[in-house]
């Protein structure tokens, strides 16, 4: 099939590359000329396992092209995906101006039937606005060409996006015509493993499904984080509790890992946006609001533990392991590491930081400053530190030589923000251990 993707951000690029990989002819279009030039040369702007190879192979085979020419892009694909950004407004609502601009552009240029599909996470009702914007642009030029709109939200996880796209749990397709349903069923047929994974529904339900999935997951995490706070206070070990409750299939083991709060571009943004949507319609979402509040509080937990241990943090040096909001990405949006470092700087401490992929991003965000030392590895970060904080559970941090670390550090204090270390083992190496919701004795 011939596919056009507007937006070469995270979602657009992964979607374009993976659809080319299954044999489609894909044109990705973006207004950022520099980005398009770099992509054409095979330079990928984000770190995402497996993506570079797929882009490279499909550009080489001619199935994947990048352009800034919107007219050419509209002419190319029968299916036109909108995967541009929806940055939050001041009140947390998604800003739709870029999505609607694309709809308008399609209306201005289309010469025959187009199926226009929103892939970006957009508030319920956006497809109607897309239809309206496109229809108006079409009418303004006196055109009368048939088109459909559809919603096809993505469920990709950063760090596993290619895998998630190629082997989806489900493909959600929101349509209001058989023609649109057939196009999308055909497009996703190669990704059905063993059984049909496509779930066809009405457009508004598809739009809500995206938020609902993220909010259920975010709620699980905030609930576990809240339980970990209780565990801390009653001297119980949340890790033992987690293993036991996960055994109940109705709860399950996924997304019940307590930690230092969820980050990234999706959960925080979507939680706020759905609360806003409901609020504007006169419904106060109490649980969803609490998910956000609990998370904001949880992102302070690492700093609070350091503060409780040291009292005054002025002049202290803290080693920070992991800056990305989770492993296998260089994304630092809403990362707990940012909350921690900013609080440490306010308290007068110096940070020695290391992340396997996000160093460049950290430099971009914070620039050069005296109280931030960019280190070349985990050991380097620990040198002379008063405490070590594990913020992101990258594989490389899993089994360090604690005896060596203890000798490098000024004080052997460890705050384990993801509960990946065994407290008694770490204690043997001479560390004072603080986890999330677990006592040092466990």
Distance CA 366, CA 94 (A): 26
Q: Considering only CA atoms, which of 192, 99, 330, 36 is closest in space to residue 16?
A: 36
**Token pair 């642009």: residue:** 137
Cα-based torsion angle of the residue sequence 421, 300, 243, 287 in order, rounded to the nearest 10 degrees: -170
Q: Considering only CA atoms, which of 8, 15, 5 is closest in space to residue 54?
A: 15
Distance CA 209, CA 278 (A): 15
Per CB under 6 A, does 317 bind ligand UGA?
no
Minimal distance, residue 393 CB to ligand UGA, in Å:
8
Question: Judged by CB under 6 A, how many residues of this single chain contact ligand UGA?
Answer: 20
Minimal distance, residue 371 CB to ligand UGA, in Å:
25
Per CB under 6 A, does 274 bind ligand UGA?
no
Q: Which is nearer to ligand UGA, 110 or 274 (CB)?
A: 274
Q: Which is nearer to ligand UGA, 352 or 418 (CB)?
A: 418
Q: Which is nearer to ligand UGA, 257 or 374 (CB)?
A: 257
The only residue of 123, 174, 259, 378 in contact with ligand UGA, by rule CB under 6 A? 259
Per CB under 6 A, does 326 bind ligand UGA?
yes
Intra-chain end-to-end CA distance of the chain, in Å: 57
Per CB under 6 A, does 347 bind ligand UGA?
no
Per CB under 6 A, does 88 bind ligand UGA?
no
Per CB under 6 A, does 158 bind ligand UGA?
yes
Which residue intervals of 235-389 are DSSP H helices?
A: 238-246, 267-280, 286-298, 301-310, 336-346, 359-366, 378-382
Q: Which is nearer to ligand UGA, 155 or 191 (CB)?
A: 155
Per CB under 6 A, does 157 bind ligand UGA?
yes
- Beta strands, E only, 43-120: 64-67, 79-82, 114-118
Q: Which is nearer to ligand UGA, 325 or 354 (CB)?
A: 325
Q: Return the ∠ at Cα 402 (arms to 396 and 404), rounded to 5°.
A: 105
Per CB under 6 A, does 397 bind ligand UGA?
no
Per CB under 6 A, does 264 bind ligand UGA?
yes
Q: Which of 18, 28, 266, 338 is catalytic?
A: 266
- Stretch of 24-32, 68-76, 263-271, 281-289 lying at the interface with ligand UGA (CB under 6 A): 263-271
Residue 233, Cβ neighbours under 10 Å: how many? 9
Distance CA 382, CA 376 (A): 11
The only residue of 156, 231, 301, 323 in contact with ligand UGA, by rule CB under 6 A? 156
Q: Which two tokens stand for residue 421?
A: 């270390």
- Is 266 assigned a catalytic role? yes
Active site residues per annotation: 266
**Interacting residues with ligand UGA (CB under 6 A):** 121, 154-158, 214, 217, 221, 255-257, 259, 262-264, 266-267, 325-326
């Amino acid at each position: 099939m011939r596919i056009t993707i507007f937006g070469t951000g995270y979602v657009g690029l992964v979607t374009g590359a993976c659809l080319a990989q299954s044999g489609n002819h894909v044109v990705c279009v973006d207004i950022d000329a520099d980005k398009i030039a770099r992509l054409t040369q095979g330079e990928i702007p984000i770190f995402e396992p497996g993506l570079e190879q797929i882009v490279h192979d499909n550009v080489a085979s001619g199935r994947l092209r990048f352009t800034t020419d919107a007219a050419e892009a509209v002419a190319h694909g029968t299916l036109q995906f909108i995967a541009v950004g929806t940055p939050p407004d001041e009140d947390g609502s998604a800003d739709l101006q870029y999505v609607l601009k694309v709809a308008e552009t399609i209306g201005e240029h289309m010469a025959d039937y187009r199926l226009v599909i929103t892939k970006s996470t957009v508030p319920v009702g956006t497809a109607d606005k897309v239809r309206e914007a496109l229809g108006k642009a079409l009418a303004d030029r006196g055109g009368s060409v048939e088109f459909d709109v559809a919603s096809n939200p993505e469920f990709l996880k950063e760090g596993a996006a290619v895998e998630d796209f190629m082997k989806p749990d489900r493909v959600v397709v929101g349509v209001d015509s058989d023609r649109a349903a057939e196009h999308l069923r055909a497009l996703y047929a190669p990704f059905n493993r063993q059984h049909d994974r496509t779930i066809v529904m009405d457009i508004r339900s598809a739009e809500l499904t995206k938020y609902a999935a993220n909010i259920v997951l975010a709620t699980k995490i905030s609930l576990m984080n809240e339980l970990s706070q209780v565990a801390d206070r009653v001297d119980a070990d949340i890790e033992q509790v987690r293993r036991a409750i996960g055994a109940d299939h109705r709860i399950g083991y996924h997304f019940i890992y307590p930690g230092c709060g969820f980050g990234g571009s999706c959960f925080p943004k979507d939680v706020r946006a759905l609360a806003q949507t409901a609020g504007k319609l006169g419904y106060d979402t109490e649980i969803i609001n609490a998910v956000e509040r609990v998370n904001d509080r949880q992102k302070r937990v690492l700093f609070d533990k350091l503060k409780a241990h040291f009292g005054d943090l002025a002049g202290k040096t803290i080693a920070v392991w992991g800056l990305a909001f989770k492993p296998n990405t260089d994304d630092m949006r809403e990362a707990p590491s940012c909350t921690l470092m900013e609080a440490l700087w306010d308290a007068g401490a110096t940070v020695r930081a290391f992340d396997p992929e996000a160093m460049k991003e950290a430099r971009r965000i914070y620039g050069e400053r005296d109280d931030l030392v960019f280190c070349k590895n985990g050991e380097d970060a620990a040198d002379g530190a008063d405490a070590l904080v594990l913020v992101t559970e990258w594989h490389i941090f899993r089994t360090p030589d604690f005896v060596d670390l203890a000798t490098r550090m000024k004080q052997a204090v460890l705050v384990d923000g993801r509960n990946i270390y065994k407290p008694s083992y770490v204690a043997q190496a001479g560390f004072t251990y603080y986890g999330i919701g677990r006592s040092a004795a466990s």
